[in-house]
Amino acid sequence: MSPNDPALRSFIEVAPENDFPIQNLPYGVFSTTADPTPRVGVAIGDSILDLAALHARGLLPSVPGANAFATDALNDFMALGPAVWKATRGRISELLRAETPTLRDDAALRAAALVPRAQAKLHLPYRVMAFSDFYSSKQHATNAGMIIRGANSALAANWLHMPIGYNSRNSTVVVGGTPIRRPLGQLKSPDSPNPGFGPCRKLDIELEMGFVLGQGSPMGSMVDEQRAEDMIFGFTLLNDWSARDIQAWEYQPLGPFLAKAFATTISPWVVTKEALEPFRVEGPRQDPAPLPYLRQHGPHNYDVTLEFWLKTAKAGDYARLSRTNFRYMYWSSVQQLMHHASTGCAMRAGDLLGSGTVSGDEKSERGSLLELSWNGADPIALPNGETRTFLEDGDSVSLRGHAQGKGYRVGFGEAEGMITPALTPPV
């Protein structure tokens, strides 16, 4: 039986609305107070299955060599390649099935290998070797272009011909739950002849998906469609926090720099490409047709609902501000990777690529505050009577996402972060 079969059930009870049924089995890195050593596990319902413990007992024979799970990052496991990924996920699924007694009927093994998620600390799931962010939602690019350049020149001339992206910082990629300090930077108002230096006033989020490479490609080579598919290990939620006012002053002529380099949050769980296979869909029609090296011959988008939630310091609960879908992306993840490597750029296992902000046609589907508030001109009303144009100190952001199956959902958990005050700028 396929690990994606909707009929599969685990001996561990999982509610239909839980992000982590047996059809998901996302990878992460965790530790506990009882055992503070970080190791690799998979989420199942409200528990974490300790893969290092299973491997030590010889229950994961598909993983050759050293214990690739007794480590603080997924990189060693990802480097083993697609055949091992598939076999390992299949074995984990088998061990968790309701009809399999190995783990179900062994109380000592369950006590050693199953940890309540509420008692675990989640870590950055892999060592991020490099981070590149794209700009691949046509709706987002159009909205941002209209705000910045006006309706007549919303999309740049090159946008429909290639996935636009830039190299960002891997050093400030953090796991969900990490507080985000408001950045300082150069700011210039339209009526001031000179810039100043101070806290960002237009702090924003970007509702994105990230994908991590489990395999690399050598410098000087290109990556075709099939190779790109094989290189992608899995997907996470990604929030590329953005300082819009710093960006407005610095971005010409070379594009984003410090306005995007101060923090990027990813969710603690990596959902494998295999788990998302039932939700693969065609993307939007591309016109004009991409150049030959960018053409794809199969569907590479995914039907994944994405949400942006906000909680202020005065509010007791989160309020949902946006609900959109990853299927809207004009340029697919496979095309982004093919383009990234097209000049001979070497790719490495552990490279993180961001989709860019995911937005849809409706206002409720916009994936950033820049769009939702139209750069501050249209304040957003919150349920408790407050309004927002951009983020304020004490605000907490939660990105959430899931693909809906028949009787189950393949979810990503949350990518959270709370805004803390900026440092005092030097005088």
Right CATH for 27-123 from 1.10.150.170, 1.10.3720.10, 2.60.200.20, 2.30.30.230: 2.30.30.230
pTM over 0.75: yes
* 141-177 tens-digit pLDDT: 999 999 988 888 899 999 999 999 999 999 999 999 9
Q: Position of tokens 């609305």?
A: 17
* 197-253 tens-digit pLDDT: 999 999 999 999 999 999 999 999 999 999 999 999 999 999 999 999 999 999 989
* Active-site residue (options: 55, 123, 140, 161): 140
Cα 330 to chain centroid, rounded: 17
Question: Phi and psi at residue 364, in whole multiples of 5°?
Answer: -70, -10
**Fold match, 27-123 / 131-420:** no
Domain ranges of the chain: 27-123, 131-420
Whether residue 12 has pLDDT greater than 80: yes
Residues 394 and 203: beta-carbon distance below 8 Å = no
Active-site residue, 140 included: yes
Which CATH superfamily is 131-420 part of? Fumarylacetoacetase-like, C-terminal domain (3.90.850.10)
Instruction: Tell me the mean pLDDT in the region 112-116.
Output: 97
Q: How far is CA 405 from CA 7, 275, 277, in A?
A: 11, 11, 11
Which is it for the CA torsion 75, 80, 81, 86, positive or negative? Answer: negative
